[in-house]
Each structure stands twice: as C-alpha cells, then as structure tokens.
Structure 1
Amino acid sequence: MTGLPPLGWLQAFEAAARTLSFTAAGHELGVTQAAISQRIRLLEDRLGQKLFVRHPRSLSLTPAGQAWLPSIQDAFMRLGEGTSEVFGGVVGDAQVTLRTTPVIQQNWLAPRLPAFQRAHPEIAVRLVSAIWPDDFGPEGADIEIRYGRGDWQGVDAVSLGEESMLPACSPTLAREIAEPSDLAGHTLLHAVGFAVGWPTWLEQAGQPGLEARCPSLTCDSQVMTLALAGQGGGVALTHRRLLEKRDDLVAPLSLAVPSDEGFWLVRPARRRPRAEAARLWEWLVGRVSS
C-alpha cells in the first residue's frame, strides 16, 4: 500500500466505527448507507484487512479496526485544531457543538439555553445526543455534559453539583405512596447504567428485597423511565436535579440516596477553545448552581 487512503474513506470509517452503524454514519456525513458501505469496502480492500464484523443487525470492530480508530480520531482532531489555529474565523466557526444525554437536554439544558440564545444570537448551538459512555469523547464536540465520577483523562471538568437519587412518579400515583413499604405492588422503572439503583435505594429505605414484590420495567435511558412515570406507568428512580423543572412528576418520598456519580461539564484540556465555545462554557459554568 502506498500513500494514504482518500479522506472520504477515512471519514466513513471514523463515523461508522464511532456509531457502529453504516446508516448513522451516512446521516452524519450526508450520504446514503450504501455509500458508506462502499467506502468501507474500498478501504478494507486498500488496507488488505477487514475493519468491521458484519452481524445480521449490527456491526462490531475487528481487532485491527479497534487498534486503528484512536489514531484516525486523533488525526482528525489535530487537523481541526491546526485549521482553526491557522485560519481562525472560517465559515461555521460560530457554531458550538454541545453533546450530552437526551435527559439532560430535556431537563437541564432546555430551561436554560433560550436565555443564552437571547444573549448571544450570533452563536449557533448544535446539540448532539449521546446515551452510552462510549458515545462520549473529544472528537466532534466543543463541550459535553457527561455522567460519571469526573475522572476522565485529558479534559477539563466542572461538576454540576453533588447528586442523589430518589423516587419520582405522577401526582396521582404519589397519593398512594406515603412510605417506602407502599411501593409494594407498583411497577418499578429501572434505567440501566447507574451506580445507585432500586435495590440500593430500597435497602437504604429499610425495605431490602421489596423489588421482588413489584412488577419491573427496564429502559436504556432515563428519558423513557421519566416519560413512563409521568404518564402514571410506575415509579422511576431518578436524579433530584432532573425533577426541578417538571410539573408532571413529584417525589412521593423524601429519602434521597447520595451517589458518587454525577453530571459534569467537560471540554478537551489540550485544545484551545474558540471564542464562541469559551463563551458558552463560561455561561454554563455560571448556571451550575441555578
């Protein structure tokens, strides 16, 4: 193999490897799923190795693909940084990309961002959704709001504050729940991926094992558990801050179990932020306690 593969092929690989979807990569790059598939096939032919394992309804990276991906992402990041440093105010510089989970977008950002837009109408904010920890990373985003312990490498991180978990449900259902034992028989809505779940909360409430006497419904995000809870579909365990701006949910019980995980504002540490991204960062930091 001589020379680098075409840039379009590398872009297709990076997007498909990050999303593990040719369709999602096509949407991101503005081309069809077939075009992404063709570029990946040409790239694999050029390299002489497979980069993806094609499953019936999903993709996974081969060991070669996993090993190569960080180098490609780092190269794109360095190319973007170099372009910004040399050319500065290129078209699109005023757009700031903010990536976070849908539940934070709906419950924390939505009540606050309109004020930023009114104060800075010249800055276009682009929101990008992420659900799983692997969805996050410095590539493609100026700022992120992540969930975890704040121990990520290579980033500046500002905590949104200490976090705790407590039950939430519709006002109608809340009338039936005066103490933890009243949860028996009610559907418990579980959101995966959090250190504090229903078993932990119930143990702290003096009701260990009560979840065995409750119907269970598990979702892959808090967006759905809160939506179900708001419709009277059960009781969700959620972060206290996510109840602040909602009128369809109440906390029927006061016990809030502290978590060593929380929400963090994050940006790449080694990248000098553009003026527009720095302005949004400073504005968000100022709203941490509001």
Structure 2
Amino acid sequence: MAALPPLLWLQAFEAAARTLSFTAAGHELGVTQAAISQRIRLLEDRLGQKLFVRHPRSLSLTPAGRAWLPSLQDAFTRLAEGTQEVFGGTTDAPVTLRTTPVIQQNWLAPRLPAFQRDHPTIALRLVSAIWPDDFGPGGADLEIRYGHGEWPGMEAVTLGDDCMLPVCAPSLAATIREPADLAGHTLLHAVGFAVGWPAWLERAGLAYLESRCAALTCDSQVMSLALAAQGGGVALAHRQLLAARQDLVAPLDLAMPTDEAFWLVRPVRRAPRPEAVCLWDWLRTQVPGAG
C-alpha cells in the first residue's frame, strides 16, 4: 500500500477545501497562509494532481479535490470517534453545539439560560456556521441545521414546521396594511433559503411589485433582520424566530409555507456523552408539541 501523505498536509487540504480559503485554514490550524499554501503544494506534488484552482481572489476545488474531500473528512471523523471510544474524553469538556447565527440569537438565546439553571454543571460551547459547508464532519456534539432533514449518517429531529412572513420595525409597520403597500419600500433579501421575496410576492398575487421596490441582499438572515429592526426595510423571517423579538413585527398575515425547516442533528455512529444526551433531550422539549 502506498504511503499516505503527512497528516499536516491532509489537515491543510481538509481545512482549505472546507473553507475555500488558505487564510481561513491557517487561522483554524494556527499557522500562516503561506504554510497552508506550501503544504497544499507539497501534497499536490505527492499526489501528482492539482487539488485547487487558484483564481485571482478565490479558490475552487478541482474535480479530483471534490471527489477526495468526502473520503478524507470521513477518515478524520472515524479517527476522532475511534480515539474517543478507546481513550474517552475529558469529563469537563464542554458540549459543543454548532448552528447558524440566526438560530443562536433568536431561538437558543431565549432558551439556554433555563437549561443552564437546570444543569449548572454542564459546560456549553456554541459554534457558528452560516453556509451548509460550515457544518463539518466533526467537532460538534450536536448541530441545528436548516434544510430538508436528509443528511447521511445523521439523526435529525425537526424543530417544527415553519413559514416565512414579512417583518419590519413597528414604525414602518404602520405604513403597511396590505401587500400592495410594500411598493416603494426596500425588500431585504437573505440568501440561502428556498423561499424568498419572489415566491412570497407571487403567492400574494403581486409578482410585479418587486420591480417597484428597492433591494438589499444580505448573506445571512441575522443581518437582514437587524436591518429590518432598524427601519431599513422589510425582511422575510421564520415565524418561530420572532417570538423573542420585541423590535420586529409582522404587518401582514400572509405567510409562505416552506418545506425546509430547522433540525436538531447528531451523528448516528458516535456514542454521545451523557452531557450531550442531556442537552439533546432538553432541546427536544422546546419543540412545539413535544413532551
């Protein structure tokens, strides 16, 4: 069997391929961007194939890089799980929960203080993820993901059906009494969701209205909701994320159903720690209708 490349090279490739950034990979691994670049170059020389396409200001994976990445990530996951099974972990290691900033701010923040009061000995660590690729194969005990609930190797429990509806600052809501009143306002778009303003306006029978509105696109729902709360426009938000917010109101009742949802997720192969099981079970009680 051919000798494997050095582990440092493999780690550099996995981090750079996941983040599509030598700089971000360097920050993650505690080395310089130049060190990551050198390790990748040595790895490509060893393999005899390019793994990345270097663009002037970005990176993309070659077909070989894309094909190899899942196998490498799975190998790292198995190595971490095997180490945990044989040697265990430190008893005081925090339970790591990875999810999107909008869930952290609007769904977890109002709830986690109660968990901490009920379980003061369990340390928690929250990790942010914005894009689907940010949810890596390891490093988190639990995750809350957005999608259809179909992730190989993962157990997923829905946080409830949801819908999207327009929200804005109370001062702006006073001027919006029916969908046609959106004309002339700024529509705040958040990328990454199947349901957006075009779908909502079509459901309202006002598809033409988008051309009569200014548009501002954000790469996260956190920012679109922050702008809406400051009177910067009207955003689309998940109904269940609004309960804890006093700075946003829904001026219109028309909601757009979505087949995507937020899901509580954990690996099926890994034997969870008791502390992680406790958090998993507690979060499930926060789902409407659970109990």
TM-score (norm 1): 0.93
Could you say if the C-alpha distance between residues 31 and 259 of structure 1 is closer, same or farther in structure 2, counting changes exceeding 3 Å? Answer: same
Distance 2:148 2:67 in 1: 26
Distance 2:203 2:48 in 1: 56
Determine if contact 1:199/1:209 at 8 Å carries over to the other structure: no
Distance 1:199 1:60 in 2: 30
Residue 142 of structure 1 is matched in structure 2 by 141
- Structure 1 residue ranges, 4+ long, deviating more than 6 angstroms after superposition: none
Residue 178 of structure 1 is matched in structure 2 by 177
Determine if contact 2:99/2:144 at 8 Å carries over to the other structure: yes
Q: Does 271-280 or 174-183 show the bigger shift?
A: 271-280
Residue 251 of structure 1 is matched in structure 2 by 250
Q: Does 177-186 or 5-14 show the bigger shift?
A: 5-14
Distance 2:18 2:134 in 1: 7
Matches for 1:30-109 after TM superposition, within 5 Å = 30-88=30-88, 90-91=89-90, 94-109=93-108
**Aligned sequence identity (%):** 78
1:153 is the counterpart of 2:143: no
Could you say if the C-alpha distance between residues 173 and 26 of structure 1 is closer, same or farther in structure 2, counting changes exceeding 3 Å? Answer: same
Q: How many equivalent residue pairs?
A: 289
User: Which secondary structure state, in structure 2, belongs to the residue aligned with residue 83 of structure 1?
Assistant: helix
Q: Does 274-283 or 116-125 show the bigger shift?
A: 116-125
Distance 1:265 1:275 in 2: 17
User: Which secondary structure state, in structure 1, belongs to the residue aligned with residue 263 of structure 2?
Assistant: strand
Matches for 1:196-211 after TM superposition, within 5 Å = 196-211=195-210
User: Which secondary structure state, in structure 1, belongs to the residue aligned with residue 207 of structure 2?
Assistant: coil
Residue 239 of structure 2 is matched in structure 1 by 240
Q: Does 204-213 or 256-265 show the bigger shift?
A: 204-213
Residue 27 of structure 1 is matched in structure 2 by 27
Determine if contact 1:94/1:276 at 8 Å carries over to the other structure: no
User: Which secondary structure state, in structure 2, belongs to the residue aligned with residue 245 of structure 1?
Assistant: coil
Distance 2:67 2:199 in 1: 38
Structure 2 gap ranges (5+): none
Post-superposition shift, 1:255? 1.5
Determine if contact 2:73/2:137 at 8 Å carries over to the other structure: no
Determine if contact 1:94/1:122 at 8 Å carries over to the other structure: no
Determine if contact 2:74/2:137 at 8 Å carries over to the other structure: no
User: Which secondary structure state, in structure 2, belongs to the residue aligned with residue 209 of structure 1?
Assistant: helix
Structure 1 gap ranges (5+): none
Distance 2:90 2:153 in 1: 28
Determine if contact 1:96/1:142 at 8 Å carries over to the other structure: yes
Determine if contact 2:97/2:141 at 8 Å carries over to the other structure: yes
Post-superposition shift, 1:110? 1.4
Could you say if the C-alpha distance between residues 170 and 154 of structure 1 is closer, same or farther in structure 2, counting changes exceeding 3 Å? Answer: same
Deviations 1:45-80 (A, max 9, x none): 222222111111111112221121111111111111
Post-superposition shift, 1:274? 1.9
Post-superposition shift, 1:126? 2.4
Distance 2:146 2:266 in 1: 13
Taking only aligned residues, the RMSD between alpha carbons, in angstroms, comes to 1.8
Distance 1:122 1:18 in 2: 34
Determine if contact 1:9/1:39 at 8 Å carries over to the other structure: yes
Distance 1:93 1:31 in 2: 27
The AA in structure 1 aligned to 2:132 is P
Distance 1:51 1:25 in 2: 15
Distance 1:182 1:104 in 2: 30
Distance 2:266 2:274 in 1: 14
Q: Does 119-128 or 63-72 show the bigger shift?
A: 119-128
TM-score (norm 2): 0.93
Distance 1:41 1:164 in 2: 47
User: Which secondary structure state, in structure 2, belongs to the residue aligned with residue 279 of structure 1?
Assistant: helix
